[in-house]
Structure formats: C-alpha cells, structure tokens
C-alpha cells in the first residue's frame, strides 16, 4: 500500500496511460468511464474506482470520463439508485459534463452487432437450459462438450434470434451464445451466453425488449461505442478480458484496453451492495444513508467531506493484489481534512452543572472565542458566560487519581476563553450521585490567563446553562465488532458480527447558542470531543448532531508504534 501522498511515482495504471499518451496511441486521447450498475447505492469502494477513472481523465490534457449506467439487468435496477449515484458522484466533486450514458441506449446497436456475429458464424442460438449449459461447460480440469445446437446454419440462427427478439419463445427457453471453443482453458471462453430471453419491464426501455444482453457481451460494446481508451475495472474481470477482447476483435470495432486493479476492502466493513441491501431491508440499519453505512450517502450524512474521501483514495493508491485497508486510515484522512476546515464550538455531551458562587446573578459576558486555530481567516465569535454553566461530567472527579489534572475538590482549572475557577463544594442527591458543583472564579483571569503568572494544568470546555441549546447527539461505533465481518462460525453469516452498540443516543446535550440555525450537514469540531455534523433530522425545535469521528487518531498511533519498532 502506498501511504505516502507526496510521492511522485505513478501507479501502474497511470504508467500505462502516460506511456500510451507518449506513443500517441488513440491519437493521444485519454477517455475513461465509471460504469455503475444501478442496483444499489455507491459505497467507499466505488469511490476508489470513481477517483481513479475521473482522476486519470482530469490529470491528462483533454481527458474525459463518462458516467455510464450499466443497466442491462432490468430485474434489480431502479430509478432511485440512478438518482442516488448521480448525486454521489457529483458530491465527490467529479463532472461528466454532458456525457451521462445508459447501456440501454445501445440495445439496438448491440443487437445489430449480435446479428453480425451470427452472420460470421461466430454466434448461435442454443436450446439447452441453464442446467445443461452448465453441465456441458466442463470444469477447470475437464474440457466442455459442444452443444448439439452449435452447428445450426447461419440462416436458422438468424431466424431464431429474430424470433427471440419478437417474443415468440418463453423466457429462458433459448439463448444466443458466442461460438468460441468448448475446450478453452478459460471457462469464460467456452461459448458464453450473449443474450437471454426475459420478460421484464426495464426502467428506461419499458417492454420494448424481451431479450437482454449479458454483462460480458455488453460491456466491451459500451466501451467501444463511447470510444473509451482505458477501461478500468476491478480484478475479478481479469479472467473476462480475453472474452472482452475476442468480441471486439470479431466485430473489428474500436478496441479499448481493459485494465484491472484490486478492489478496496476495509476492516470492520462489508462492501458488497447485496449485503448492504440486506442490512437495509432487514432494518438492521435505518436506511442506505445510515451514518454507520460505508455508502457515500452514509459517509456524507455522518459528516465526511468529499475532500477527505478523495484524499483517502489518493493515499491508498492502486495496485494489483487484494488487501484490506485499516479503517483507521480512512478516519485519519477524515480528521486531517476536518481539522483544517471545521469551525470549533463548545458543547457538553454529558452535562454536569457548575455554579460560580461569586459571579453576579443575572450578569452575562460575551467572551471572545477562536473559530479555527488552523485557519486565521475563520475569525472570532462571542460566547456567553454566566453564573451557571455545564461542564463535561468526566472532567470532574471527587477523588482524582494521579495524572487526573482536571477539576477536583479544591482544585483550580481554566474554563476556555473565560476564567480560572476553583471547586469549592460538591452537591449530591439522595442516591449519592453528584448533581452540581459549586465553584468560585478569579475575575483577574478573564480571557484565560492569570496576571500573577500562576498556572493550571487543565483547560475545560463549558457552556452557559441559560444560553445553551439542547441537542440530541448520536455517537457511532463500527457497524461490526469483527475486523473481518465475514469471519463467522459455521452456519452464521456476517450479520452475526453486527455491533449491538454501534449507535448511542445522548439527550439532552448542551451546545453553544451559535449553533441555533446550523444547516443540515454543516460540520464542526466540538472542542475536546471530536468532529460532528448536523443530521438532516435536525429541526429548529430539536437539534440533532452526528459524531463523525472522535479526536483520537488511532492511525497516527499505529504509525508511531511502527516507527518506534524500526
Ligand atoms: P458490489 O460488488 O459492491 O455489488 P459491483 O462491482 O457489482 O459492486 P458495480 O456497480 O458493477 O458494482 O461497480 C461499478 C464499478 O465500481 C466497477 O468498475 C467496479 O469494479 C467498481 N467497484 C465496485 N466495488 C469496488 C471496490 N470495493 N473497490 C474498488 N472498485 C469497486
Ligand atoms: Mg457489478
């Protein structure tokens, strides 16, 4: 894995592309595409493919990248998915201009190409059913057997194929197959199916067609029709490349180069649309955009910035062998970006009341707070301070152990942007739980420094009880407890690894009043607590925030530990 984003070394795909441009292959054009099947929402793995194909186009002068829906399977595909995919690719920041295409727009042309193959004696109509086709196919160690229909005449094939299209035969009763070689060492080359009969209403072509092209047949044609130069896909298609090439060679049409790379796998994450759909359908998550989902819309709702996702895709690089990336790296890229871009605010998630006994009742001061220490241009804001405050429950201990420097009886600490305060008294309820603290403040320390130079060991965040707004805060943990969700005992599936504590809801939390009209998806750093964003469920009546990620950078820790070992 390449984790060094400053390296200038090109990955193997960019090397191929650069070489082709240098040699003026395809007249020096670079034209890629991203071809999702609209049968689910995009996930972070797709983001890798998107950033690769759109990225390579953007890096080359005049380079183009198409967005193409591979909508050849009418059964699982839906308009909802198409709309979500468009939204997600845009959100990631990529632009296909006017080149949004649908494989279904090429059905007529694909049909004509199939007729050409039949005329060349390179395709035939086969009446074997699916089981028989499988039996005749042979195995990796045994050659297949020719279908008894393999030697039909061109005329008969043309007639049958026309009638397949006209709807004269029942579903699945016949297929069109390529005539290649039933003893080819690559099973994909053993007379693969090109068309099946299927009566299903297609979201775009309606009931116009009752035969639908298979992926291997369709995909290369789509690339060729769009004059794609580099058709970048994942490793599982490596064994399909000979077939991709065969079809295009037989047709003598424009021939893009297929290049395969390893798909992204992440720890604690499932990355298959089928499994993600299961989580949604079985209501194990709220929806496709549940902030625990690895979908792009889930990441967006969680508070990820597009830049963080793109930086991650750059960091992981591209290679040819499958591996699993530590999710801590994704979170590291997220923190890196959010640290630079998120305004800071003060909020209290687990409130503990503090009363400043010597602060005048009814008095309110507006104190200056820095919006983003990483970005001076972000400026300052005012936060109200008053006699009654909330601090974080865990910032106080009645009997502090060694190394606990925060508030404790008799101890003085700094309230950020405000004053030094000293804890004088602890009030408990009948159950013995601490319900409020009484403190005194030193008016001379306004702004957070003591004129006599005395030091305190801790700075706490706080909010003014009277001015703070109540909010619901949703904390998220990994969706799965096991690094590899597929690692299960016999008879169980990945869902047995779901983390029962992946969502924790806190109410009431208190946030500073500047958050009053915060728009959905706005990102903040809650000081000392982490990065948060406004959930779309948030209303003026009830603010709702998602914790995007905590401040603790486990990736940086791992890196440090590895360095120390060396
Ligand atoms: P899934 O296996 O999750 O259902 P898919 O491969 O069926 O995904 P497609 O819509 O066909 O989904 O994918 C569009 C493109 O995204 C393809 O080129 C595919 O190779 C690529 N892609 C899908 N998953 C990943 C991944 N985990 N990492 C990198 N690229 C991916
Ligand atoms: Mg697919």
Do residues 108 and 151 make contact, with C-beta atoms less than 8 angstroms apart? no
| Residue of 41, 45, 324 best suited for mutating to test ligand 1, as the one with most atoms within 8 Å of CB | 45
pLDDT digits (tens, 9 = 90+) for 506-561: 999 999 999 999 999 999 999 999 999 999 999 999 999 999 999 987 787 877 88
Quickly tell me which residue has 């579903």 as its tokens.
171
Q: Residue 76's pLDDT is what?
A: 81
From the CB of 263, is ligand 1 less than 6 Å away? yes
* pLDDT, mean over the chain: 96
Q: Residue 566's pLDDT is what?
A: 63
Alpha-helical runs (H) found in 30-138: 44-59, 79-91, 107-119, 130-137
CA–centroid distance for 496 within its chain: 22
Decide: residue 113, CB within 10 A, 0-12 exposed, 13-18 middle, 19+ buried. buried
Distance between Cα 261 and ligand 2 center (Å): 14
Distance between Cα 124 and ligand 2 center (Å): 26
For ligand 2, an ion, list residues with CB under 5 A.
37
Cα→Cα distances 225→71, 115, 416, Å:
15, 17, 63
From the CB of 273, is ligand 1 less than 6 Å away? yes
Nearest-atom number in ligand 1 for the CA of 271 is 3
In angstroms, the CA 69 to CA 80 distance is 13
Q: Residue 564's pLDDT is what?
A: 78
The closest alpha carbon to 302, from 122, 151, 476, belongs to 476
- Per-residue DSSP letters for 157-199? HHHHHHHHHHT-S-TTS-EEEE-S-TT-SSGGGSS-EEEEE--
Binned at pLDDT 50, 70 and 90, residue 497 comes out as very high
Q: What percent of the chain has pLDDT over 70?
A: 98
From the CB of 49, is ligand 1 less than 6 Å away? yes
| Residue of 40, 55, 82, 234 best suited for mutating to test ligand 1, as the one with most atoms within 8 Å of CB | 234
In angstroms, the CA 454 to CA 292 distance is 46
In angstroms, the CA 513 to CA 440 distance is 24
Query: Is the pLDDT at 184 greater than 80, yes or no?
Result: yes
Q: Residue 560's pLDDT is what?
A: 80
Binned at pLDDT 50, 70 and 90, residue 287 comes out as very high
Distance between Cα 38 and ligand 1 center (Å): 11
pLDDT digits (tens, 9 = 90+) for 406-420: 999 999 999 999 999
First to last CA, the chain: 18
Query: Is the pLDDT at 438 greater than 50, yes or no?
Result: yes
From the CB of 325, is ligand 1 less than 6 Å away? no
Beta 264-266 vs 434-442: how paired, if at all? Answer: unpaired
From the CB of 48, is ligand 1 less than 6 Å away? yes
From the CB of 456, is ligand 1 less than 6 Å away? no
Nearest Cα residue to atom 2 of ligand 1? 272
List the catalytic residues. 37, 263, 273
Cα→Cα distances 38→9, 69, 95, 181, 237, Å:
34, 6, 18, 33, 19
pLDDT digits (tens, 9 = 90+) for 367-402: 999 999 999 999 999 999 999 999 999 999 999 999
Binned at pLDDT 50, 70 and 90, residue 101 comes out as very high
Q: Residue 5's pLDDT is what?
A: 45
Average pLDDT rounded to a whole number, residues 232-248: 98
- Per-residue DSSP letters for 119-145? HTT-EEEE---HHHHHHHH--SSS---
Average pLDDT rounded to a whole number, residues 436-454: 96
Query: Is the pLDDT at 6 greater than 50, yes or no?
Result: no
In angstroms, the CA 120 to CA 196 distance is 20
Q: What percent of the chain has pLDDT over 90?
A: 94
| Full-model pTM | 0.94
Q: Residue 565's pLDDT is what?
A: 73
Nearest-atom number in ligand 1 for the CA of 49 is 30
From the CB of 233, is ligand 1 less than 6 Å away? yes
Task: Report the alpha-carbon angle 274-280-285, nearest 5.
Answer: 130
Helix (H, G, I), strand (E, B) or coil at 107: helix
Q: The tokens of 21 are what?
A: 């441009």
| Residue of 263, 278, 294, 309 best suited for mutating to test ligand 1, as the one with most atoms within 8 Å of CB | 263
Query: Is the pLDDT at 123 greater than 90, yes or no?
Result: yes
Q: Residue 108's pLDDT is what?
A: 98
Do residues 499 and 267 make contact, with C-beta atoms less than 8 angstroms apart? no
In angstroms, the CA 522 to CA 301 distance is 10
pLDDT digits (tens, 9 = 90+) for 302-355: 999 999 999 999 999 999 999 999 999 999 999 999 999 999 999 999 999 999
Query: Is the pLDDT at 563 greater than 90, yes or no?
Result: no
Nearest Cα residue to atom 15 of ligand 1? 36
Average pLDDT rounded to a whole number, residues 426-433: 97
Query: Is the pLDDT at 4 greater than 90, yes or no?
Result: no
Query: Is the pLDDT at 7 greater than 90, yes or no?
Result: no
Alpha-helical runs (H) found in 282-405: 296-302, 306-316, 327-341
Binned at pLDDT 50, 70 and 90, residue 9 comes out as confident
Q: Residue 553's pLDDT is what?
A: 78
């Amino acid at each position: 894995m390449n984790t060094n984003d400053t390296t200038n070394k090109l990955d193997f795909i960019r090397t191929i592309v650069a070489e082709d441009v240098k040699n003026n292959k395809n007249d020096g054009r670079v034209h890629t595409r991203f071809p999702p099947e609209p049968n689910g929402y995009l996930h972070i793995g797709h983001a890798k493919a998107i950033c690769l194909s759109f990225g390579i186009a953007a890096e080359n002068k005049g380079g183009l990248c198409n967005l193409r829906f591979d909508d050849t399977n009418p059964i699982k595909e839906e308009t909802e998915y198409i709309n979500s995919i468009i939204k997600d690719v845009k959100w990631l920041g990529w632009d296909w201009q006017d080149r949004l295409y649908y494989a279904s727009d090429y059905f007529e042309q694909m049909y004509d190409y199939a007729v050409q193959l039949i005329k060349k004696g390179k395709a035939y109509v086969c009446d074997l059913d699916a089981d028989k086709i499988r039996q005749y196919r042979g195995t990796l160690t045994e050659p297949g057997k020719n279908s008894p229909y393999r030697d039909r005449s061109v005329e008969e094939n043309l007639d049958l194929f026309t009638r397949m299209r006209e709807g004269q035969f029942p579903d699945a009763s016949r297929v069109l197959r390529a005539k290649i070689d039933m003893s080819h060492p690559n099973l994909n080359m053993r007379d693969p199916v090109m068309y099946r009969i299927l009566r299903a209403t297609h979201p775009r072509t309606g009931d116009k067609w009752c035969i639908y092209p298979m992926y291997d047949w369709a995909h290369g044609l789509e690339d060729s029709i769009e004059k794609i130069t580099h058709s970048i896909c994942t490793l599982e298609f490596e064994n399909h490349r000979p077939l991709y090439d065969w079809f295009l060679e037989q047709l003598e049409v424009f021939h893009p180069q297929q290049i395969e790379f390893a798909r992204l796998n992440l720890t604690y994450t499932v990355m298959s649309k089928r499994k993600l759909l299961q989580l949604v359908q079985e209501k194990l998550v709220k929806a496709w955009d549940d902030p625990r989902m690895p979908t792009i819309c889930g990441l967006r709702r969680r508070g990820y910035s597009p830049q963080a996702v793109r930086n991650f895709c750059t960091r992981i690089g591209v290679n040819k062998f499958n591996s699993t990336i530590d999710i801590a790296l994704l979170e590291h890229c997220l923190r890196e970006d959010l640290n630079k871009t998120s305004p800071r605010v003060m909020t209290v998630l687990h409130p503990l009341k503090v009363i400043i006994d010597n602060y005048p009742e009814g008095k309110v001061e507006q104190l200056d707070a820095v919006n983003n220490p990483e970005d001076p241009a972000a400026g300052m804001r005012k936060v109200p301070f008053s006699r009654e405050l909330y601090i974080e429950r865990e910032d106080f201990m009645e009997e502090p152990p060694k190394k606990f420097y925060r508030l404790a009886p008799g101890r003085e600490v700094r309230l950020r942007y405000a004053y030094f305060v000293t804890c004088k008294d602890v009030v408990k309820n009948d159950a013995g739980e601490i319900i409020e603290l009484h403190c005194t403040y030193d008016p001379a320390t306004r702004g957070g420094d003591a004129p006599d130079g005395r030091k305190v060991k801790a700075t706490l965040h706080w909010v003014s009880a009277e001015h703070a707004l109540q909010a619901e805060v949703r904390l998220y943990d990994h969706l799965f407890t096991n690094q590899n969700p597929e690692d299960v005992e016999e008879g169980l599936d990945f869902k047995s690894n779901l983390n029962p504590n992946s969502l924790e809801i806190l109410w009431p939390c208190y946030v500073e009043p500047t958050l009053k009209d915060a728009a959905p998806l706005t990102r903040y750093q809650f000081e000392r607590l982490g990065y948060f964003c406004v959930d779309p469920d948030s209303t003026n009546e009830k603010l709702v925030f998602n914790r995007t990620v905590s401040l603790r950078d486990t990736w940086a820790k791992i890196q440090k530990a590895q360095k120390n070992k060396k």
